Amino acid sequence: AGHRIDASEVLSKAVIYDSVPCPQCVRHNEIPPFCFKRSRCLLYFNEDNQGRVGSLECRKCLAAGRNPTLRILDIVAPEVFVSYNWGVREEGPDGSVDFSTQRIVKPLRTRLEEQDDLVCWLDVGGGMGAGQNLMAEMAEGVRKCTVV
């Protein structure tokens, strides 16, 4: 009468699902856990996201009296940490600031995410937000990623 699979078995698979379970729900053995849409989470890593760092709320955590606000980086951990030397600071005609090596790593990140479906941590593309501690955020990025 149908298939049965243990939730821990599903969560331990190294595959990409359309939904990502709330890590707090999983930690508190909430069955079934609230799930976030992976595509919605990945929007926060988009270069156009000027806020850079985002959070989402879990309805189940709210109902259970837990803090419902989770950082995107705690929901979807990037697999690849893109490390680079900033290079030379350059200002564009529109006043934008760019660093010479960012022009090299941004297309690499785009290729990895679009062609290989990997989530990448890059300080200028969802890894960092204004006012955050650079060294602390980079250390956390390295800790969470599979490949550096």
Q: Which residue has the higher pLDDT, 46 or 30?
A: 30
Q: What is the pTM of this model?
A: 0.58
Give pLDDT, residue 1: 47
Helix (H, G, I), strand (E, B) or coil at 18: coil
DSSP calls for 24-45: HHHHTT-SSPPEEEHHHHHGGG
Tens of pLDDT along 37-62?
887 887 776 656 554 457 889 999 99
Provide the mean pLDDT of the chain: 78
Give pLDDT, residue 52: 47
Residue whose C-alpha is closest to residue 119's, from 26, 12, 16:
16
Give pLDDT, residue 59: 95
